[in-house]
Amino acid sequence: EKCQCKVAPRERLNCGHPGITAEECRRAGCCFSASVPGVPWCFTPKQRRVRKVCPSDVRARVNCGFPGITAQECQRKGCCFVPHPVGVPWCFYHRTVTE
Protein backbone atom coordinates (compact mmCIF):
# COMPACT_ATOMS: atom_id res chain seq x y z
CA GLU A 1 0.00 0.00 0.00
CA LYS A 2 1.10 3.58 -0.58
CA CYS A 3 1.51 4.48 3.10
CA GLN A 4 3.90 1.54 3.57
CA CYS A 5 6.19 3.10 0.96
CA LYS A 6 6.48 6.44 2.75
CA VAL A 7 10.01 5.75 3.97
CA ALA A 8 12.53 8.56 4.47
CA PRO A 9 15.27 8.23 1.81
CA ARG A 10 18.03 7.75 4.42
CA GLU A 11 16.02 4.92 6.03
CA ARG A 12 15.49 2.89 2.85
CA LEU A 13 16.71 -0.71 2.87
CA ASN A 14 17.67 -2.06 -0.53
CA CYS A 15 15.21 -4.59 -1.91
CA GLY A 16 16.48 -5.11 -5.44
CA HIS A 17 19.48 -5.53 -7.71
CA PRO A 18 21.21 -2.70 -9.64
CA GLY A 19 19.14 -1.76 -12.67
CA ILE A 20 15.87 -3.30 -11.40
CA THR A 21 12.80 -1.81 -13.05
CA ALA A 22 9.87 -0.33 -11.14
CA GLU A 23 7.66 -3.20 -12.33
CA GLU A 24 10.15 -5.90 -11.23
CA CYS A 25 10.56 -4.17 -7.87
CA ARG A 26 6.83 -3.96 -7.20
CA ARG A 27 6.32 -7.56 -8.33
CA ALA A 28 8.84 -8.56 -5.65
CA GLY A 29 6.65 -6.84 -3.03
CA CYS A 30 8.92 -3.83 -2.69
CA CYS A 31 8.51 -0.06 -3.11
CA PHE A 32 10.06 1.92 -5.97
CA SER A 33 10.89 5.62 -6.14
CA ALA A 34 13.67 7.06 -8.32
CA SER A 35 13.12 10.59 -7.01
CA VAL A 36 16.21 10.75 -4.74
CA PRO A 37 19.67 9.97 -6.15
CA GLY A 38 22.22 8.12 -4.03
CA VAL A 39 19.75 5.97 -2.09
CA PRO A 40 18.05 2.67 -2.96
CA TRP A 41 15.25 3.16 -5.49
CA CYS A 42 13.83 -0.29 -4.84
CA PHE A 43 13.35 -0.59 -1.09
CA THR A 44 11.63 -2.58 1.64
CA PRO A 45 8.18 -1.26 2.67
CA LYS A 46 7.35 -0.37 6.27
CA GLN A 47 5.71 -3.14 8.24
CA ARG A 48 1.96 -2.87 8.72
CA ARG A 49 0.93 -1.86 12.20
CA VAL A 50 -2.00 -3.75 13.63
CA ARG A 51 -3.94 -2.96 16.78
CA LYS A 52 -7.00 -4.31 18.53
CA VAL A 53 -9.98 -2.03 19.19
CA CYS A 54 -13.37 -2.52 20.79
CA PRO A 55 -15.96 -1.76 18.09
CA SER A 56 -18.13 1.26 18.90
CA ASP A 57 -20.95 0.17 16.58
CA VAL A 58 -23.15 -2.29 18.52
CA ARG A 59 -24.00 -4.06 15.25
CA ALA A 60 -20.32 -5.04 14.91
CA ARG A 61 -20.25 -6.86 18.25
CA VAL A 62 -19.53 -10.59 18.08
CA ASN A 63 -20.44 -12.42 21.29
CA CYS A 64 -17.49 -13.54 23.39
CA GLY A 65 -19.32 -14.45 26.59
CA PHE A 66 -22.51 -15.88 28.01
CA PRO A 67 -25.58 -14.44 29.74
CA GLY A 68 -24.57 -13.00 33.10
CA ILE A 69 -20.82 -12.85 32.43
CA THR A 70 -19.07 -10.28 34.62
CA ALA A 71 -16.71 -7.59 33.34
CA GLN A 72 -13.79 -9.39 35.02
CA GLU A 73 -14.63 -12.76 33.44
CA CYS A 74 -15.00 -11.11 30.05
CA GLN A 75 -11.71 -9.22 30.30
CA ARG A 76 -9.90 -12.38 31.46
CA LYS A 77 -11.02 -13.93 28.17
CA GLY A 78 -9.34 -10.97 26.42
CA CYS A 79 -12.63 -9.44 25.23
CA CYS A 80 -14.35 -6.06 25.44
CA PHE A 81 -17.08 -5.40 28.00
CA VAL A 82 -19.68 -2.64 27.66
CA PRO A 83 -22.86 -3.28 29.72
CA HIS A 84 -25.34 -1.55 27.43
CA PRO A 85 -27.60 -1.38 25.43
CA VAL A 86 -30.03 -4.19 26.13
CA GLY A 87 -30.38 -6.86 23.46
CA VAL A 88 -26.77 -6.95 22.20
CA PRO A 89 -23.70 -8.79 23.52
CA TRP A 90 -22.03 -6.97 26.40
CA CYS A 91 -18.94 -9.16 26.22
CA PHE A 92 -17.59 -9.13 22.66
CA TYR A 93 -14.44 -9.67 20.61
CA HIS A 94 -12.00 -6.95 19.61
CA ARG A 95 -11.64 -5.97 15.97
CA THR A 96 -8.19 -5.91 14.39
CA VAL A 97 -7.41 -2.65 12.63
CA THR A 98 -4.51 -2.21 10.20
CA GLU A 99 -2.91 1.21 10.29
Query: Which parts of the chain sit beneath pLDDT 50?
Result: none
| C-alpha to C-alpha distance for 34 and 94, rounded to whole angstroms | 40
CATH number listed for the domain at residues 50-98 = 4.10.110.10
- The pLDDT tens digits for 66-93 are 999 999 999 999 999 999 999 999 999 9
Q: What are residue 81's DSSP bridge partners? A: 91
Q: Max CA-CA distance within the chain?
A: 64
**What ranges do the domains of the chain cover?**
3-43, 50-98
The pLDDT value given to residue 2 = 67
The pLDDT value given to residue 24 = 96
Quote the DSSP letter at residue 17.
-
Length of the chain: 99
Q: Could you tell me if residue 70 is left (phi over 0), alpha (psi between -120 and 50 degrees) or otherwise beta?
A: beta
Give me the CATH topology for the region 3-43. Answer: Spasmolytic Protein; domain 1 (4.10.110)
Side chain identity, residue 38: G
